Amino acid sequence: MRREAIRPNSALVSLLLATLVVWLGLDTVSVSPNRIVPGQGVDVLGVAGWGGVAASIAPILIVLGLAWRPTPVRLRWATGLVVLMLSALPVWLVVAAALTVDPDMPQARMGIGGGVWVALFLLLLALIELRTRLALSRVLGWALLLVPLASLAACLALGLEPLALRQEYQGRSAAFVSAIGEHLMLVGVAVSLSLMLGIGLAMAMRHWPRAQRMGFAILNFLQTIPSLALFGLLLAPLAWLSGRFEWLAALGVSGIGWAPALLALVGYSLLPMVRNTYVALDGVDPDVIDAARGMGMSRGQVFRQVRLPLALPVILEGIRITTVQAIGLTAVAALIGAGGLGTFIFQGLGQAAMDLVLLGALPILVMALVADALLGALTDLLRPGGAT
Partner 1 sequence: MIELIHVTKRFGDVVAVDDVSLSVGKGELCVLVGTSGCGKSTTLRMINRLIEHSDGEIHLDGQPVREFREEVLRRRIGYAIQSTGLFPHWTVERNIGLVPRLLKWPASRVRERVEELMALLDLSMGEFAGKYPSQLSGGQAQRVGVARALAADPEILLMDEPFGALDPITRESLQDELARLQARLHKTIVFVTHDMDEALRLADRLVVMHQGRIVQQGHPIELLREPADEFVESLLGGEDRGLKEAALLPVSERMTPLGPRLVAKERVAQHATLREALSIMLWRHVERLAVVDDDDIPIGELSLRRLVGARGHESPGP
CB of 315 closer than 8 Å to CB of 274: no
Choice from 110, 292, 316, 329 touching partner 1 (CB under 8 A)? 292
DSSP code of residue 27: -
Q: How far is the CB of 244 from partner 1 (least distance, A)?
A: 50
As a three-state string, the secondary structure of 48-61 is HHHHHHHHHHHHHH
List helix spans (H) across the chain: 2-5, 10-25, 44-68, 72-100, 114-133, 138-158, 164-170, 173-207, 209-224, 227-244, 246-251, 258-282, 286-294, 299-301, 308-333, 342-350, 354-382
Choice from 66, 88, 291, 343 touching partner 1 (CB under 8 A)? 291
Q: How far is the CB of 58 from partner 1 (least distance, A)?
A: 49
109: β partners: 32
Query: Is the Cβ of residue 170 or residue 298 nearer to partner 1 in the bound state?
Result: 298
Using the rule CB under 8 A, give the single segment among 144-152, 180-188, 221-229, 290-298 that binds partner 1.
Answer: 290-298
From residue 72 to residue 101, what is the string marking binding to partner 1 with x (rule CB under 8 A)?
Answer: ------------------------------
Q: Is 381 in the site for partner 1 (CB under 8 A)?
A: no
Q: How far is the CB of 287 from partner 1 (least distance, A)?
A: 4
Q: Describe the strand order of the beta sheet including 29-32 as a list of residue ranges.
A: 40-42, 29-32, 109-112
Query: Is the Cβ of residue 31 or residue 302 nearer to partner 1 in the bound state?
Result: 302
From residue 296 to residue 315, what is the string marking binding to partner 1 with x (rule CB under 8 A)?
Answer: xxx--x----x--xx-----
Cα–Cα distance, 369 to 144 (Å, whole number) = 16
Q: How far is the CB of 286 from partner 1 (least distance, A)?
A: 9
Q: Is 380 in the site for partner 1 (CB under 8 A)?
A: no
CB of 168 closer than 8 Å to CB of 320: no
Q: How far is the CB of 378 from partner 1 (least distance, A)?
A: 15
> How many residues at the interface with partner 1, by CB under 8 A?
21
297 Cα distance to chain centroid = 43
Interior CA angle at 143 toward 140 and 144, to 5°? Answer: 90
Query: Is the Cβ of residue 234 or residue 302 nearer to partner 1 in the bound state?
Result: 302
Cα–Cα distance, 138 to 66 (Å, whole number) = 23
- Closest CA relative to residue 376, chosen from 310, 324, 309: 324
Choice from 293, 337, 373, 379 touching partner 1 (CB under 8 A)? 293
Cα dihedral across residues 237, 241, 244, 249: positive or negative: negative
Q: How far is the CB of 384 from partner 1 (least distance, A)?
A: 4
Q: How far is the CB of 386 from partner 1 (least distance, A)?
A: 6
335 Cα distance to chain centroid = 21
Q: How far is the CB of 113 from partner 1 (least distance, A)?
A: 51
Query: Is the Cβ of residue 18 or residue 279 nearer to partner 1 in the bound state?
Result: 279
- Give residues 230-289 in contact with partner 1 (rule: CB under 8 A): 285, 287-288
Q: Is 385 in the site for partner 1 (CB under 8 A)?
A: yes
Query: Is the Cβ of residue 51 or residue 296 nearer to partner 1 in the bound state?
Result: 296
Summarize as ranges the residues that interact with partner 1 (CB under 8 A).
Answer: 285, 287-288, 290-298, 301, 306, 309-310, 384-388
